[in-house]
């Protein structure tokens, strides 16, 4: 899958050049998520994680590539077909302050998808919403049903957003940094809630995060994204035990550890992630890589399976 966004040219640029420029937000990636799995996409800001999530949910269209859900090609689904699909694929956004309509009461906000998908309305809708409020820990549910989002804390708002995503009994959830704007003390409880709901509702997650420690805690598999490309992918325990890509190694070395004795030396990356408009030639990570060799500036490495299920895109592993 690819997603390139065209860059608007200034008047002068239009006169000087005909060449179009693109932000290559997602640049040829392939992966699969098994039923019941938690698959994490990790990387810095600007790596293409959120764009990937939106593409999979068909909130934006890919420049090229295909998306399959439960064996069905959904890439070109439109209208009624797409509306029906949305019941089974939901999203939880990072910021519960902007993802909830401030003029909609909590009960209304959670019940709204039930009406859109013609699952329930009236008393039945209220009953389902109250049950869901209890499930996400907003109890007694009656007290939360008729209040507005601005009467809630950040953690409670995110519980409402989770309830709204789960109310249609989806099969697949894209969770886009669901705990990063919540107070640190509440993060573990929200993650625990999401994992409990996953078991209860038999969900699969695509979990988007910049925090490898969070990904380690909740996922079965991890894909590390860098400038729109997957540079390493594999089962979580394998990636942490034996990271191969220099970027993955650097990210893992930056995770804080509770015991200073266990702390390994931090690998410091050079500079910032480059712009996705001017992607470096060869290996896109080479300007920041401390292990680069001659070929790295010339040829882009392909993502290859080094051991069963463990993929890496790096010339150090031919």
Report helix, strand or coil for 275: coil
Based on CB atoms, which residue is closest to ligand SF4, 114 or 314?
A: 314
Based on CB atoms, which residue is closest to ligand SF4, 270 or 308?
A: 270
Residues 182-201 that bind ligand SF4 (CB under 6 A): none
Least gap, CB of 279 to ligand SF4 (angstroms): 13
Q: Is residue 315 part of the contact set for ligand SF4 (CB under 6 A)?
A: yes
**Per-residue tokens: 177:** 């940094």
* Contacts made by residues 137-144, CB under 8 angstroms, sequence distance 24+: 137/189, 137/193, 138/106, 138/163, 144/106, 144/107
Cβ contact 314:265 at 8 Å: no
* 272/24 Cα distance (integer angstroms): 17
Applying CB under 6 A, among 182, 191, 203, 314 the residue interacting with ligand SF4 is 314
Q: Which residues pair with 183 in a beta bridge?
A: none
Based on CB atoms, which residue is closest to ligand SF4, 42 or 179?
A: 42
Least gap, CB of 108 to ligand SF4 (angstroms): 50
Least gap, CB of 318 to ligand SF4 (angstroms): 10
x-marked contacts with ligand SF4 along 269-308 as a string, rule CB under 6 A: --------------x-xx--x-xxx--x----x-------
> Residues touching ligand SF4: how many (CB under 6 A)?
14
| DSSP per-residue codes, 60-87 | S--SB---EETTEE-TT--HHHHHHHHT
* 107/142 Cα distance (integer angstroms): 9
Cis peptide before 140 (omega within 30 of 0): yes
Based on CB atoms, which residue is closest to ligand SF4, 164 or 315?
A: 315
Write down the residue that tokens 């704007």 correspond to. Answer: 181
Based on CB atoms, which residue is closest to ligand SF4, 130 or 276?
A: 276
x-marked contacts with ligand SF4 along 226-265 as a string, rule CB under 6 A: -------------------xx-------------------
**Among candidate residues 127, 121, 160, the one with its CA nearest the CA of residue 144:** 160
Q: Is residue 136 part of the contact set for ligand SF4 (CB under 6 A)?
A: no
* 181/162 Cα distance (integer angstroms): 14
Q: Which residues bind ligand SF4 (CB under 6 A)?
A: 245-246, 283, 285-286, 289, 291-293, 296, 301, 314-316
């Amino acid at each position: 899958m690819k997603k390139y966004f065209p860059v608007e040219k200034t008047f002068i640029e239009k006169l000087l050049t005909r060449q179009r420029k693109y932000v290559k937000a997602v640049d040829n990636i392939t992966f699969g998520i098994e039923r019941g799995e938690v698959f994490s996409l990790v990387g810095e800001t600007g790596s293409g994680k959120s764009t990937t999530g939106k593409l999979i949910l068909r909130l934006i269209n890919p420049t090229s590539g295909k998306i399959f859900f439960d064996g069905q090609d959904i890439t070109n689904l439109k209208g009624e077909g797409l509306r029906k699909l949305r019941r089974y694929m939901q999203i939880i956004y990072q910021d519960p302050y902007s993802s909830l309509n401030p003029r909609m009461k909590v009960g209304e906000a959670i019940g709204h998808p039930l009406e859109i998908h013609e699952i329930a309305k009236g008393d039945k809708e209220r009953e389902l919403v109250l049950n869901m409020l209890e499930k996400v820990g907003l109890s007694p549910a009656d007290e939360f049903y008729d209040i507005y989002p601005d009467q809630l804390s950040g953690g409670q708002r995110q519980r409402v957003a989770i309830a709204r995503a789960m109310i249609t009994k989806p099969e697949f959830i894209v969770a886009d940094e669901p705990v990063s704007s919540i107070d640190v003390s509440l993060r573990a409880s929200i993650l625990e809630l999401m994992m409990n709901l996953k078991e209860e509702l038999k969900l699969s997650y695509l979990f988007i995060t910049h925090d490898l420690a969070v990904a380690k805690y909740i996922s079965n598999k991890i894909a590390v994204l860098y400038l729109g490309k997957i540079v390493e992918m594999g089962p979580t325990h394998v990636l942490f035990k034996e990271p191969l890509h220099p970027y993955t190694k650097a990210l893992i070395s930056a995770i804080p550890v509770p015991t200073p004795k266990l702390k390994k030396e931090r690998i410091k990356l050079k500079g910032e992630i480059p712009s996705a408009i001017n992607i470096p030639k060869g290996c896109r990570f080479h300007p920041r890589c401390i292990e680069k060799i001659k070929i790295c500036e010339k040829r882009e490495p392909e993502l290859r399976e080094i051991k069963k299920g463990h993929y890496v895109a790096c010339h150090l592993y031919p």
